[in-house]
Amino acid sequence: MQKIRTSLLLTLVALAGYGLPTAAQAQIDSVAGFWKTVDDKTGEVRAIVHIYQADDGLYYGKIHAMLRYADARCLRCDGDDKGKPLQGLVIIRDMKPDRDVLKGGRVLDPETGKQYYCSIRLDPQTGRLVLRGSLDKRGLLGRNQYWIR
């Protein structure tokens, strides 16, 4: 009888927290929204990217507005993206939440047409979005970009 009570108690404790937003989920949710991309070399704000969660549960990022060169196209892109206008182009694809990070997807660099493995997190101290593009899935060979809300 004692084992049944203990099992029931543990089950209730486990279920009590089910469905409540965790700090990690809240941080992932705060990644969604509009972000200004910043050029690494010049510090110039170049575009506004909308990061959103799609119906499939994955996160995507689309260029909402180009702040310079509004008519620019993705001339170096491959496949379906080749020649498309940058405004409206999905540059972040298939990001999955993992604790307080989005990862597992890809990011497109429209200047070069190259795709990189990607991870996205929110820097809690600065409130900036940290996007890491890398050549390897683990993120060892890559660099960070910092975007502002």
pLDDT tens readout for residues 116-130: 999 999 999 999 999
Determine the structural domain holding residue 26 and report its residue range: 22-147
CATH number for position 106? 2.40.128.520
pLDDT at residue number 139: 78
pLDDT at residue number 140: 84
Q: How many angstroms separate the CA atoms of 60 and 90, rounded?
A: 7
pLDDT at residue number 23: 54
Task: Using 50 as the pLDDT threshold, list the residues of the chain that sit under it.
Answer: 1, 4-21
In a domain, 74, yes or no: yes
Q: How many angstroms separate the CA atoms of 99 and 76, rounded?
A: 34
In a domain, 7, yes or no: no
- What sign does the dihedral 65-67-73-76 (CA atoms) show? negative
In a domain, 26, yes or no: yes
In a domain, 64, yes or no: yes
pLDDT at residue number 70: 87
In a domain, 124, yes or no: yes
Within 8 A by CB and 6+ apart from 8, the residues are none
The amino acid that residue 24 corresponds to is A
pLDDT at residue number 7: 45
**What is the number of structural domains in the chain?**
1
In a domain, 10, yes or no: no
pLDDT at residue number 69: 87
In a domain, 68, yes or no: yes
In a domain, 129, yes or no: yes
